Chains A and B, each alone.
Chain A
Amino acid sequence: MKVITLFVFVFFSLTAKSQTAKDYIVLLTADLKQSWRLDSITMNSNYTELKKEMVVLFKLNNRAVIFYGSLQKADTIAWFLEKKEKYALLTLGEIGRYEIDFLQRNNVRYMRLRNEIPLQKNINITEYFFLPSNDKLPGKSKII
Protein backbone atom coordinates (compact mmCIF):
# COMPACT_ATOMS: atom_id res chain seq x y z
CA MET A 1 0.00 0.00 0.00
CA LYS A 2 2.86 2.36 0.86
CA VAL A 3 4.41 1.74 -2.55
CA ILE A 4 1.10 2.51 -4.29
CA THR A 5 0.65 5.67 -2.22
CA LEU A 6 4.18 6.80 -3.04
CA PHE A 7 3.62 6.09 -6.74
CA VAL A 8 0.33 8.03 -6.75
CA PHE A 9 1.99 10.94 -4.94
CA VAL A 10 4.93 11.08 -7.36
CA PHE A 11 2.58 10.77 -10.36
CA PHE A 12 0.37 13.65 -9.28
CA SER A 13 3.34 15.77 -8.24
CA LEU A 14 4.88 15.39 -11.69
CA THR A 15 1.70 15.93 -13.66
CA ALA A 16 0.24 18.71 -11.51
CA LYS A 17 0.02 22.06 -13.23
CA SER A 18 0.22 24.98 -10.89
CA GLN A 19 -2.28 27.73 -11.51
CA THR A 20 -1.36 31.32 -11.12
CA ALA A 21 -3.50 34.28 -10.14
CA LYS A 22 -3.26 35.36 -13.77
CA ASP A 23 -5.08 32.22 -14.95
CA TYR A 24 -7.96 33.06 -12.64
CA ILE A 25 -7.99 36.73 -13.61
CA VAL A 26 -8.13 35.88 -17.33
CA LEU A 27 -11.30 33.84 -16.78
CA LEU A 28 -12.77 36.28 -14.30
CA THR A 29 -12.41 39.35 -16.46
CA ALA A 30 -12.75 37.53 -19.79
CA ASP A 31 -11.22 40.55 -21.49
CA LEU A 32 -14.28 42.53 -20.41
CA LYS A 33 -16.35 40.64 -22.95
CA GLN A 34 -18.39 38.91 -20.31
CA SER A 35 -19.99 39.58 -16.98
CA TRP A 36 -21.18 37.09 -14.38
CA ARG A 37 -24.77 36.67 -13.22
CA LEU A 38 -25.55 35.14 -9.83
CA ASP A 39 -27.80 32.27 -10.81
CA SER A 40 -28.26 30.26 -7.62
CA ILE A 41 -26.87 29.36 -4.23
CA THR A 42 -26.63 26.17 -2.22
CA MET A 43 -29.85 24.83 -0.75
CA ASN A 44 -30.84 25.97 2.74
CA SER A 45 -28.83 29.16 2.30
CA ASN A 46 -30.05 32.72 2.03
CA TYR A 47 -29.08 35.52 -0.28
CA THR A 48 -27.51 37.76 2.32
CA GLU A 49 -24.16 39.03 1.10
CA LEU A 50 -24.76 38.61 -2.61
CA LYS A 51 -28.11 39.31 -4.24
CA LYS A 52 -29.97 36.97 -6.56
CA GLU A 53 -29.67 37.87 -10.25
CA MET A 54 -26.96 40.43 -9.59
CA VAL A 55 -24.61 40.86 -12.52
CA VAL A 56 -20.93 41.60 -11.97
CA LEU A 57 -18.48 42.95 -14.49
CA PHE A 58 -14.88 42.56 -13.37
CA LYS A 59 -12.58 45.19 -14.79
CA LEU A 60 -8.83 44.94 -15.12
CA ASN A 61 -8.25 47.94 -12.86
CA ASN A 62 -9.51 45.85 -9.93
CA ARG A 63 -12.87 47.55 -9.90
CA ALA A 64 -16.07 45.56 -10.31
CA VAL A 65 -19.40 46.99 -11.38
CA ILE A 66 -22.40 45.28 -9.83
CA PHE A 67 -25.84 45.61 -11.40
CA TYR A 68 -28.89 44.62 -9.41
CA GLY A 69 -32.16 43.20 -10.71
CA SER A 70 -33.42 45.57 -13.34
CA LEU A 71 -29.84 46.55 -14.23
CA GLN A 72 -30.80 50.14 -13.52
CA LYS A 73 -28.90 50.41 -10.26
CA ALA A 74 -25.15 49.85 -10.21
CA ASP A 75 -22.43 49.88 -7.57
CA THR A 76 -18.72 49.90 -8.09
CA ILE A 77 -16.53 48.03 -5.66
CA ALA A 78 -12.90 46.94 -5.49
CA TRP A 79 -11.93 43.35 -6.15
CA PHE A 80 -8.72 41.51 -5.42
CA LEU A 81 -7.64 38.01 -6.30
CA GLU A 82 -5.06 36.16 -4.28
CA LYS A 83 -3.71 32.73 -5.14
CA LYS A 84 -3.14 30.54 -2.10
CA GLU A 85 -1.34 27.21 -2.14
CA LYS A 86 -4.49 25.12 -2.44
CA TYR A 87 -7.08 27.58 -3.77
CA ALA A 88 -7.66 31.15 -4.88
CA LEU A 89 -9.40 33.85 -2.85
CA LEU A 90 -11.51 36.65 -4.29
CA THR A 91 -12.12 39.70 -2.14
CA LEU A 92 -15.18 41.69 -3.14
CA GLY A 93 -14.94 45.12 -1.55
CA GLU A 94 -16.66 45.15 1.82
CA ILE A 95 -18.98 42.31 0.80
CA GLY A 96 -16.67 39.48 1.68
CA ARG A 97 -13.88 37.09 0.79
CA TYR A 98 -14.60 33.91 -1.12
CA GLU A 99 -12.83 30.90 -2.52
CA ILE A 100 -13.21 31.08 -6.28
CA ASP A 101 -13.38 28.24 -8.78
CA PHE A 102 -14.24 27.94 -12.44
CA LEU A 103 -16.13 24.75 -13.03
CA GLN A 104 -17.89 22.81 -15.72
CA ARG A 105 -20.81 20.39 -15.52
CA ASN A 106 -22.95 19.03 -18.34
CA ASN A 107 -21.10 21.31 -20.74
CA VAL A 108 -22.08 24.37 -18.72
CA ARG A 109 -19.24 26.53 -17.51
CA TYR A 110 -19.76 28.54 -14.37
CA MET A 111 -17.98 30.36 -11.59
CA ARG A 112 -18.42 29.35 -7.98
CA LEU A 113 -17.71 31.56 -4.99
CA ARG A 114 -17.94 30.09 -1.54
CA ASN A 115 -17.06 31.09 2.00
CA GLU A 116 -13.62 29.96 3.05
CA ILE A 117 -13.79 26.43 4.38
CA PRO A 118 -13.15 26.47 8.13
CA LEU A 119 -12.10 23.61 10.37
CA GLN A 120 -15.43 23.48 12.19
CA LYS A 121 -17.98 21.16 10.63
CA ASN A 122 -20.99 22.98 12.06
CA ILE A 123 -20.32 26.20 10.15
CA ASN A 124 -22.46 26.36 7.03
CA ILE A 125 -20.70 27.11 3.78
CA THR A 126 -22.74 28.99 1.20
CA GLU A 127 -21.80 28.46 -2.41
CA TYR A 128 -22.76 31.07 -5.02
CA PHE A 129 -23.05 29.95 -8.62
CA PHE A 130 -22.47 32.53 -11.34
CA LEU A 131 -23.20 31.95 -15.00
CA PRO A 132 -21.61 33.93 -17.82
CA SER A 133 -23.95 36.76 -18.66
CA ASN A 134 -24.00 38.33 -22.06
CA ASP A 135 -26.78 40.70 -21.14
CA LYS A 136 -26.23 44.06 -22.62
CA LEU A 137 -25.41 46.15 -19.61
CA PRO A 138 -26.69 49.73 -19.50
CA GLY A 139 -23.96 52.25 -20.18
CA LYS A 140 -21.46 49.45 -20.72
CA SER A 141 -19.40 51.49 -23.14
CA LYS A 142 -19.07 54.25 -20.54
CA ILE A 143 -18.06 51.79 -17.82
CA ILE A 144 -15.35 50.18 -19.87
Chain B
Amino acid sequence: MTIDPRLRELRRVAIVPALNEVENIGRVIDELRAFDPGLEIVVVDDGSLDGTARAAAAKGARVLRLPFNLGIGGAVQTGFRFAFENDFDIAVRVDGDGQHDPAQLDRVLAPVLSGEADIVVGSRFAAMGANGYRSSRTRRIGIRLLAGVVSRIVGQRVTDTTSGFQALNREGIALFARDYPHDYPEVEATVMVFRHRLRLVEVPVEMRERGGGRSSITALRSIYYMVKVLLAIFVGLFRRNVVPQEGSE
Protein backbone atom coordinates (compact mmCIF):
# COMPACT_ATOMS: atom_id res chain seq x y z
CA MET B 1 0.00 0.00 0.00
CA THR B 2 1.25 3.48 -0.79
CA ILE B 3 0.94 5.97 2.01
CA ASP B 4 0.54 9.71 1.81
CA PRO B 5 4.04 11.18 1.18
CA ARG B 6 3.40 13.88 3.79
CA LEU B 7 3.17 11.13 6.37
CA ARG B 8 6.65 9.88 5.63
CA GLU B 9 8.37 12.92 7.11
CA LEU B 10 6.46 12.76 10.35
CA ARG B 11 7.11 10.76 13.49
CA ARG B 12 3.99 8.67 13.78
CA VAL B 13 2.70 6.22 16.31
CA ALA B 14 -0.26 3.85 16.55
CA ILE B 15 -1.77 3.51 20.00
CA VAL B 16 -3.50 0.17 20.41
CA PRO B 17 -5.36 -0.38 23.68
CA ALA B 18 -5.98 -4.08 24.32
CA LEU B 19 -7.64 -6.11 27.03
CA ASN B 20 -7.49 -9.88 26.64
CA GLU B 21 -7.11 -9.74 22.87
CA VAL B 22 -4.55 -12.51 22.39
CA GLU B 23 -6.58 -13.83 19.43
CA ASN B 24 -6.73 -10.50 17.61
CA ILE B 25 -3.71 -8.42 18.58
CA GLY B 26 -1.24 -10.12 16.22
CA ARG B 27 -3.42 -9.54 13.20
CA VAL B 28 -4.01 -5.89 14.17
CA ILE B 29 -0.25 -5.34 14.38
CA ASP B 30 0.36 -7.06 11.04
CA GLU B 31 -2.28 -4.93 9.35
CA LEU B 32 -0.86 -1.72 10.83
CA ARG B 33 2.57 -2.66 9.46
CA ALA B 34 1.05 -3.48 6.10
CA PHE B 35 -0.51 -0.01 6.01
CA ASP B 36 2.68 1.79 7.01
CA PRO B 37 5.94 0.04 7.91
CA GLY B 38 7.29 3.28 9.42
CA LEU B 39 4.56 3.42 12.02
CA GLU B 40 5.69 2.89 15.60
CA ILE B 41 3.19 0.54 17.23
CA VAL B 42 2.48 0.82 20.93
CA VAL B 43 0.17 -1.71 22.48
CA VAL B 44 -1.24 -0.65 25.83
CA ASP B 45 -2.08 -3.85 27.66
CA ASP B 46 -4.76 -2.93 30.18
CA GLY B 47 -4.10 -5.74 32.64
CA SER B 48 -4.81 -8.68 30.32
CA LEU B 49 -4.68 -12.18 31.77
CA ASP B 50 -4.31 -14.05 28.49
CA GLY B 51 -0.83 -13.28 27.15
CA THR B 52 -1.85 -10.29 25.04
CA ALA B 53 1.36 -8.47 26.03
CA ARG B 54 3.56 -11.40 25.02
CA ALA B 55 1.75 -11.85 21.71
CA ALA B 56 2.19 -8.15 20.93
CA ALA B 57 5.87 -8.12 21.92
CA ALA B 58 6.47 -11.22 19.78
CA LYS B 59 5.24 -9.21 16.79
CA GLY B 60 7.76 -6.51 17.59
CA ALA B 61 5.36 -3.91 18.99
CA ARG B 62 6.30 -1.74 21.95
CA VAL B 63 4.18 -2.86 24.88
CA LEU B 64 3.11 -0.73 27.80
CA ARG B 65 1.87 -3.25 30.33
CA LEU B 66 -0.37 -1.74 32.98
CA PRO B 67 -0.05 -3.52 36.34
CA PHE B 68 -3.83 -3.73 36.66
CA ASN B 69 -6.90 -2.82 34.67
CA LEU B 70 -7.29 0.95 34.44
CA GLY B 71 -10.26 0.95 32.11
CA ILE B 72 -10.16 2.12 28.51
CA GLY B 73 -9.70 5.81 29.39
CA GLY B 74 -6.65 5.26 31.58
CA ALA B 75 -5.19 2.79 29.10
CA VAL B 76 -5.55 5.05 26.09
CA GLN B 77 -4.18 8.03 27.99
CA THR B 78 -1.07 5.99 28.78
CA GLY B 79 -0.56 5.75 25.03
CA PHE B 80 -1.09 9.49 24.55
CA ARG B 81 1.44 10.23 27.29
CA PHE B 82 3.93 7.94 25.55
CA ALA B 83 3.30 9.73 22.26
CA PHE B 84 3.63 13.15 23.88
CA GLU B 85 6.80 12.43 25.84
CA ASN B 86 8.48 10.79 22.88
CA ASP B 87 7.70 13.75 20.63
CA PHE B 88 5.53 12.06 18.08
CA ASP B 89 3.89 14.37 15.53
CA ILE B 90 0.93 12.20 14.73
CA ALA B 91 -0.89 9.48 16.62
CA VAL B 92 -3.57 7.13 15.43
CA ARG B 93 -5.69 5.12 17.79
CA VAL B 94 -6.80 1.68 16.72
CA ASP B 95 -8.58 -0.74 19.03
CA GLY B 96 -6.91 -4.05 19.75
CA ASP B 97 -10.00 -6.13 19.01
CA GLY B 98 -9.71 -5.84 15.24
CA GLN B 99 -12.87 -3.70 14.82
CA HIS B 100 -10.93 -0.96 13.11
CA ASP B 101 -9.45 -1.76 9.74
CA PRO B 102 -5.99 -0.19 9.43
CA ALA B 103 -6.45 -0.11 5.66
CA GLN B 104 -8.89 2.76 6.24
CA LEU B 105 -6.31 4.79 8.12
CA ASP B 106 -5.48 6.90 5.07
CA ARG B 107 -9.02 8.27 5.21
CA VAL B 108 -8.78 8.96 8.94
CA LEU B 109 -5.36 10.58 8.58
CA ALA B 110 -6.14 12.85 5.62
CA PRO B 111 -7.73 15.81 7.49
CA VAL B 112 -4.88 15.85 10.02
CA LEU B 113 -2.24 15.77 7.29
CA SER B 114 -3.89 18.58 5.35
CA GLY B 115 -4.07 20.68 8.52
CA GLU B 116 -7.88 20.80 8.52
CA ALA B 117 -8.27 19.07 11.83
CA ASP B 118 -6.49 18.46 15.11
CA ILE B 119 -8.51 15.34 15.78
CA VAL B 120 -10.21 13.06 13.28
CA VAL B 121 -12.78 10.49 14.30
CA GLY B 122 -13.74 7.58 12.10
CA SER B 123 -17.53 7.48 12.27
CA ARG B 124 -19.74 4.50 11.59
CA PHE B 125 -22.71 6.75 10.91
CA ALA B 126 -21.23 9.68 8.98
CA ALA B 127 -22.21 8.00 5.72
CA MET B 128 -25.81 7.01 6.30
CA GLY B 129 -26.92 3.53 5.42
CA ALA B 130 -23.48 2.38 4.45
CA ASN B 131 -22.98 -1.17 5.56
CA GLY B 132 -25.36 -0.84 8.58
CA TYR B 133 -23.29 -1.16 11.70
CA ARG B 134 -24.46 -4.11 13.75
CA SER B 135 -24.45 -3.94 17.53
CA SER B 136 -26.80 -4.59 20.43
CA ARG B 137 -30.01 -2.52 20.45
CA THR B 138 -29.31 -0.77 23.75
CA ARG B 139 -25.91 0.18 22.55
CA ARG B 140 -27.11 1.58 19.25
CA ILE B 141 -29.76 3.69 20.94
CA GLY B 142 -27.18 4.89 23.46
CA ILE B 143 -24.74 5.85 20.73
CA ARG B 144 -27.43 7.84 18.87
CA LEU B 145 -28.65 9.60 21.99
CA LEU B 146 -25.17 10.63 23.06
CA ALA B 147 -24.39 11.87 19.56
CA GLY B 148 -27.52 14.04 19.65
CA VAL B 149 -26.70 15.54 23.05
CA VAL B 150 -23.08 16.18 22.12
CA SER B 151 -23.96 17.74 18.73
CA ARG B 152 -26.27 20.19 20.46
CA ILE B 153 -23.63 21.13 23.05
CA VAL B 154 -20.72 21.61 20.70
CA GLY B 155 -22.75 23.19 17.90
CA GLN B 156 -21.39 20.91 15.18
CA ARG B 157 -22.97 17.73 13.91
CA VAL B 158 -21.16 14.70 15.29
CA THR B 159 -22.57 11.30 14.49
CA ASP B 160 -20.39 8.88 16.39
CA THR B 161 -19.13 9.96 19.79
CA THR B 162 -18.08 6.49 20.89
CA SER B 163 -15.66 5.66 18.11
CA GLY B 164 -12.11 4.89 19.15
CA PHE B 165 -10.82 4.99 15.55
CA GLN B 166 -8.98 8.31 15.58
CA ALA B 167 -6.02 10.31 14.34
CA LEU B 168 -4.50 13.26 16.20
CA ASN B 169 -1.86 15.86 15.55
CA ARG B 170 0.53 17.22 18.16
CA GLU B 171 -2.12 19.55 19.68
CA GLY B 172 -4.55 16.69 20.06
CA ILE B 173 -1.90 14.43 21.58
CA ALA B 174 -0.89 17.15 24.04
CA LEU B 175 -4.46 17.72 25.18
CA PHE B 176 -5.23 14.04 25.74
CA ALA B 177 -1.87 13.40 27.40
CA ARG B 178 -2.78 16.03 30.01
CA ASP B 179 -6.45 15.27 30.44
CA TYR B 180 -8.51 12.31 29.36
CA PRO B 181 -11.81 11.06 30.80
CA HIS B 182 -12.26 7.65 32.42
CA ASP B 183 -14.44 4.60 31.76
CA TYR B 184 -16.21 5.41 28.50
CA PRO B 185 -14.06 8.34 27.50
CA GLU B 186 -14.75 9.20 23.86
CA VAL B 187 -17.97 11.09 24.51
CA GLU B 188 -16.57 13.40 27.16
CA ALA B 189 -13.37 13.72 25.16
CA THR B 190 -15.37 15.02 22.18
CA VAL B 191 -16.89 17.79 24.28
CA MET B 192 -13.48 18.52 25.78
CA VAL B 193 -11.91 18.91 22.34
CA PHE B 194 -14.41 21.60 21.41
CA ARG B 195 -14.03 23.44 24.70
CA HIS B 196 -10.30 23.68 24.00
CA ARG B 197 -11.12 25.06 20.55
CA LEU B 198 -9.40 22.23 18.76
CA ARG B 199 -10.86 21.23 15.42
CA LEU B 200 -12.60 17.88 15.20
CA VAL B 201 -13.58 16.31 11.90
CA GLU B 202 -15.46 13.08 11.33
CA VAL B 203 -14.81 10.83 8.36
CA PRO B 204 -16.96 7.85 7.41
CA VAL B 205 -15.46 4.43 8.10
CA GLU B 206 -16.81 0.93 8.14
CA MET B 207 -16.09 -1.08 11.20
CA ARG B 208 -15.79 -4.83 11.26
CA GLU B 209 -17.33 -7.29 13.62
CA ARG B 210 -14.83 -7.93 16.34
CA GLY B 211 -12.63 -10.99 15.82
CA GLY B 212 -12.50 -13.70 18.46
CA GLY B 213 -13.21 -13.06 22.13
CA ARG B 214 -15.89 -10.92 23.76
CA SER B 215 -16.53 -7.21 24.02
CA SER B 216 -16.09 -5.84 27.52
CA ILE B 217 -19.34 -3.84 27.33
CA THR B 218 -22.67 -5.41 28.34
CA ALA B 219 -26.17 -3.94 28.09
CA LEU B 220 -26.52 -3.09 31.78
CA ARG B 221 -23.11 -1.48 31.77
CA SER B 222 -24.08 0.62 28.77
CA ILE B 223 -26.93 2.13 30.77
CA TYR B 224 -24.69 2.85 33.74
CA TYR B 225 -22.14 4.48 31.44
CA MET B 226 -24.85 6.54 29.77
CA VAL B 227 -25.96 8.02 33.09
CA LYS B 228 -22.38 8.57 34.17
CA VAL B 229 -21.31 10.15 30.90
CA LEU B 230 -24.33 12.47 30.72
CA LEU B 231 -23.65 13.59 34.28
CA ALA B 232 -20.00 14.17 33.46
CA ILE B 233 -20.86 16.19 30.35
CA PHE B 234 -23.39 18.42 32.05
CA VAL B 235 -21.29 19.08 35.12
CA GLY B 236 -18.25 19.55 32.90
CA LEU B 237 -19.99 22.39 31.11
CA PHE B 238 -19.80 24.46 34.28
CA ARG B 239 -16.07 23.97 34.65
CA ARG B 240 -13.97 27.06 34.18
CA ASN B 241 -10.54 25.56 34.58
CA VAL B 242 -10.93 22.87 31.95
CA VAL B 243 -7.60 21.16 32.33
CA PRO B 244 -6.33 19.99 35.72
CA GLN B 245 -2.81 21.03 36.59
CA GLU B 246 -0.18 18.32 36.83
CA GLY B 247 -0.12 16.90 40.36
CA SER B 248 -3.48 18.34 41.43
CA GLU B 249 -5.25 14.98 41.58
The yes or no verdict on A and B being binding partners is no
Which positions in B face A, CB cutoff 8 Å?
A: none
Residues of A within 8 A of B (CB): none
